[in-house]
Structure 1
Amino acid sequence: MGETPRLVASDIDGTLLGDDRRLSARTTAVLERVAAAGTPVVLVTGRPIRWLQMVYDQLSAPLPAICANGAVVYDPDTDQVLRADPLDPQLLAEVARRLRAAVPEVSFAVEIVDSREMRHEAHYPLRWDADHEAIRAVESPEELASVPAVKLLARAGTQDPDAFVQVVAGALEGLAEATHSSYSGLVEISAAGVTKAAGLAWYAARIGVRQSDVLAFGDMPNDVPMLTWAGRAVAVANAHPAVLEIADEVTGANTADGVATYLEKVFGVG
């Protein structure tokens, strides 16, 4: 990428946000200056739609988002989903069946209604928004797979995330995508071909930006497809080794405004 990027795409957690899950004043200002100068900025995240508001509350204007690891493209100005690519119920049931056979102790949750709601098995350990009205336990495995889901979440007690995702990916080869974005042993499963790269490619084409003109930032394995696809891939210094290995460049850590530092240099907005 020799010219100024025409689209900036960034992961949220561990990349834009500090460890306190807050946007620094510097990062907020730089994102807003880049967007105001005419270069679109899009958030590309594993988060569901219902987790975006806590980020939007820290910005003067919300940014479009590619959610659920590429399964949902969301316009916050109109509160509309522009594109969704879920696992259909038949596929969801088959994925769950294969994983129960491979990992008998596995437990599941699903992100439904374009990730505005979540359903989970009774023994699935909730880490966030457990009391939210959009979160509900199901009474049977059949109910879990009764409606399309933009993401299936799998846990099996304490697991090494890199090893566990390999087990899951092996069981689902050719059927679905498996990745992870945390160190808690959670594996995130999407329909085959649904990745952050696919969602970002669709969005870039929609606004008329070439792949080579996209600048992307990330930190975890679920960012690897997006970073591999983008014209310029930048990892934050705290990134997972898989991300550091494929990135074109490395900027400062999320706790040191790494994305803001890089954007200030590229766009001269510091």
Structure 2
Amino acid sequence: MGEPPRLVATDIDGTLLADDRRLSPRTAGVLARITAGGTPVVLVTGRPIRWLQLVYDQLDAPLPAICANGAVVYDPIADEVLRADPLAPELLAEVARRLRAEVPGVSFAVEIVDSRQMRHEAHYPLRWDADADAIRAVESPEELLAAPAVKLLVRAGEQDPDVFVRVVAGALEGLAEATHSSYSGLIEISAAGVTKAAGLAWFAARLGIDERDVLAFGDMPNDVPMLTWAGRAVAVANAHPAVREIADEVTAANTEDGVAAYLEKVFGLD
């Protein structure tokens, strides 16, 4: 990629944001200058739509987002979901059946209504999200799995996520995608073929942009498909070893404005 990219795609948490979930003025400024110059920027995240406002509040203008690990493509200006690839209720039921048989003490939550709402089993631990209007415990397993879900969330007590994701992926081989984006033991499941790469490929095609002209940034295993697909893949210095292994380059850490520093160099910004 000798020329500047035609599309910039970046993960949010651990990549664009610092560890306190703040976006630095430097990074916000660089993104604003790039988009003003005509190069689109898209956020590609495991976050649900309802978690995007924290980021949008720190940007000069909201950016389009590929949410729920590629299952939802969102236009914040129109507040419109452009594309959604949920797990159907029958598929959710089979995934849950396999995991209940394979994993002792497993508990589930689902992202529904294009990730604007979440439903969870009573014993599922809520570690970050407690919005009473959008989040609710269900009374039965059947209720949990009754609606299409853009993401199924899986926990089973304290787990090494790299080990746990292999267990879950093995149980669901050929049925669904399993990945993780944190070190807390949370596994995230999407429909087969639904990844950050798939969502980004759809978005890029909509703009008439080839993958060779896409620059992508990431830090965790759920970013690997996107980084493998993009023409240039850049890991932040704090990235998971699986991401550093496949990245074309490594920039500074998220706490040191690594994405902004790399973009300043690529676009010749002072």
For this structure pair, what is the TM-score category when the shorter chain's length is used for normalisation?
over 0.9
CA shift for structure 1 position 129: 2.3
CA shift for structure 1 position 83: 0.1
CA shift for structure 1 position 3: 1.5
Q: What's the Cα RMSD here?
A: 0.5
Identical pairs, percent: 84
Q: Counterpart of 1:74 in 2: which secondary structure? A: strand
Q: 8 Å contact 1:12–1:45 — kept in the other structure?
A: yes
| Count of matched residue positions in the alignment of Structure 1 and Structure 2 | 270
Q: Counterpart of 2:16 in 1: which secondary structure? A: coil
Q: Write the distance in 2 (CA, Å) between the matches of 1:81 and 1:140.
A: 29
Q: Write the distance in 2 (CA, Å) between the matches of 1:131 and 1:8.
A: 31
Q: 8 Å contact 1:200–1:226 — kept in the other structure?
A: yes
Measured against aligned partners, the alpha-carbon deviations of 1:63-92 in whole angstroms (never above 9, x if no partner) come to 000000000000000000000000000000
Measured against aligned partners, the alpha-carbon deviations of 1:104-141 in whole angstroms (never above 9, x if no partner) come to 21000000000000000000000112133100000111
Which residue does 2:119 correspond to in 1?
119
Which residue does 1:41 correspond to in 2?
41
Q: Write the distance in 1 (CA, Å) between the matches of 2:75 and 2:124.
A: 30
Q: Write the distance in 1 (CA, Å) between the matches of 2:2 and 2:64.
A: 26
Q: TM-score, normalized by length of structure 1?
A: 0.99
Q: Write the distance in 1 (CA, Å) between the matches of 2:73 and 2:93.
A: 24
Which residue does 1:266 correspond to in 2?
266
Q: Write the distance in 1 (CA, Å) between the matches of 2:191 and 2:179.
A: 12
- Residue 237 of structure 2 aligns to which amino acid in structure 1? A
1:1-270 alignment runs, 5 A limit = 1-270=1-270
Measured against aligned partners, the alpha-carbon deviations of 1:156-213 in whole angstroms (never above 9, x if no partner) come to 0000000000000000000000000000000000000000000000000001111100
Q: Counterpart of 2:169 in 1: which secondary structure? A: helix
Q: Counterpart of 2:238 in 1: which secondary structure? A: coil
Q: Counterpart of 1:225 in 2: which secondary structure? A: helix
Q: Write the distance in 1 (CA, Å) between the matches of 2:20 and 2:157.
A: 25
Q: 8 Å contact 1:34–1:269 — kept in the other structure?
A: no
CA shift for structure 1 position 60: 1.5
Q: Write the distance in 1 (CA, Å) between the matches of 2:40 and 2:50.
A: 22
- Residue 163 of structure 1 aligns to which amino acid in structure 2? V
4+ runs deviating over 6 angstroms: none
Decide which moves more: 1-10 or 230-239: 1-10
Q: Write the distance in 2 (CA, Å) between the matches of 1:14 and 1:104.
A: 30
